[in-house]
Structure 1
């Protein structure tokens, strides 16, 4: 794979950003071409591969924004774009990646309600994002009540209908999963290439957000684990991976749920998770545990 250089209302209830990004957010809600090179935010990375005549480009934002991703699927004559990242500098890098292909965006989607995946949408000129109606309404409430501006190119977009379709003659399936990491998740599957863009159903090497229903989240991943439609996973935080990461995610969510159920305090829960996953990054996501604490 190639790797070229290229907030807060209730802590956003599952948005992924570091404390450094939260500080940067206060001054970074307008485009700044120099910001990514100024030292305030390092550049992201791009990871590429091809399967079955289709190209896949995954943009991974820098660690200060918890390695949130945007994916570009490259067909013969057009692109499928999944998510916009969070900050203006990272969204500008996604725009540059789109331009580098020399192909138009035929379809752009937002995978779920959390602002780290749609906050950069206004920076991606000329692209209108489609999504599930349920996601749009959740996103609208978040945008109107938050600090991120109104992403008109998402709110004015069209509806995605779950099921099979085609792009450039290649089968593409849109799936709607409910009540997992987010209230709604739009997953994109390319069965001929055996690639699934699962976004925040799976994190790779990054601490998970607490989720809205961890029991159902585990059940969903167990069902996906038995699904023969994909071997490669493009995730919402971190590098592309394989279906084996589903087992890792299931185990992680069980540890997360046990810690949030049985620990005496949020800090105790955080300590348990860090002890179980010492190699993971994205400490800001662990701070969200206090916002979900119900005892």
Structure 2
């Protein structure tokens, strides 16, 4: 396996967090295993990584109930069709995904918009799936315009996805840092001892503090020169991985195409 699996036992729920390899910018797919089924969250950037996740999921011996897409950034949905399960998303996220049109993954494999389009709308509410309460919350601003946060309150589980990066550099391409900081404060709650990020390994509440520190530095260092920002933020956080994520953000901010 090229990616890494972290398994977290929460009683009648187990989390299998798949982190893609560095070449796939450590995108994470969460497999939430309930007593009789699997709920997948986010569908990977590359088709090959999605195939690896799906093969692992099938090995658990339970059906894939659904794939939830948390937001419209392509690194979280380009492999969605490989899950062969109903695709769920907030309606606004569905529309944002559709507006991107056809794409291709990092290996040049075509991604047809029609094949990854969500067909089941999510409304902010509590949904009981296989006896387990899932709390769906719509969040506006921060890392992207709109995204879904999922809580499993009975299991202390916060599925934050791209509101949290653990150990990698952070995409700030929408430059909505102040709002993002507010969201992190709202997410802070010791009742949720497991935080699942969109890039990197599962963590605890401390990762929210680390994210806030990174965003504070990004606000300070981000000017009108993307390369200068990249060098400065890398020097400030020398142990964080995947500087290519900074390049992607710079493309959004300054039009500098990643190499």
Tell whether the structures are fold-level matches, with TM greater than 0.5: yes
Aligned equivalent of 2:177, options 202, 211, 214? 214
CA-CA distance at 1:217 after TM superposition: 0.5
Please give the root-mean-square deviation of Cα atoms over the aligned residues, in Å: 1.6
Distance in 2 (alpha carbons) for counterparts of 1:173 and 1:228: 17
Label 1:77 to 1:101 Cα distance change in 2 as closer, same or farther (>3 A).
same
Question: 2:173·2:250 contact (CA, 8 Å) conserved in 1?
Answer: no
Runs of 4+ in 1 over 3 A off after TM superposition: 151-154
User: Are 1:84 and 2:47 matched, yes or no?
Assistant: no
CA-CA distance at 1:149 after TM superposition: 2.3
* Structure 1: runs of 5+ lacking an equivalent: 1-5, 7-42
Distance in 2 (alpha carbons) for counterparts of 1:223 and 1:49: 24
Question: 2:65·2:85 contact (CA, 8 Å) conserved in 1?
Answer: no
Aligned equivalent of 1:290, options 232, 250, 254? 250
Aligned equivalent of 1:270, options 221, 230, 238? 230
Distance in 2 (alpha carbons) for counterparts of 1:102 and 1:150: 29
User: Are 1:234 and 2:193 matched, yes or no?
Assistant: no
Question: 2:67·2:80 contact (CA, 8 Å) conserved in 1?
Answer: no
Give the structure with the larger strand fraction: 2
Label 1:218 to 1:141 Cα distance change in 2 as closer, same or farther (>3 A).
same
Report the TM-score when normalising by structure 1. Answer: 0.80
The answer for the alignment partner of 1:11 in structure 2 is none
The answer for the alignment partner of 1:50 in structure 2 is 9
Question: 1:163·1:173 contact (CA, 8 Å) conserved in 2?
Answer: yes
* Structure 2: runs of 5+ lacking an equivalent: 105-109
The answer for the alignment partner of 2:89 in structure 1 is 131
Question: 1:129·1:153 contact (CA, 8 Å) conserved in 2?
Answer: no
Distance in 2 (alpha carbons) for counterparts of 1:96 and 1:182: 30
Label 1:232 to 1:286 Cα distance change in 2 as closer, same or farther (>3 A).
same
CA-CA distance at 1:199 after TM superposition: 0.5
Corresponding residue pairs, total: 248
Report the TM-score when normalising by structure 2. Answer: 0.91
Distance in 1 (alpha carbons) for counterparts of 2:99 and 2:249: 22
CA-CA distance at 1:95 after TM superposition: 0.8
Please state whether the residue corresponding to 2:17 is helix, strand or coil: strand
Counterpart mapping for 1:147-158 below 5 A: 147=104, 148-158=110-120
Distance in 2 (alpha carbons) for counterparts of 1:195 and 1:153: 30
The answer for the alignment partner of 1:257 in structure 2 is 219
User: Are 1:141 and 2:60 matched, yes or no?
Assistant: no
Label 1:45 to 1:194 Cα distance change in 2 as closer, same or farther (>3 A).
same
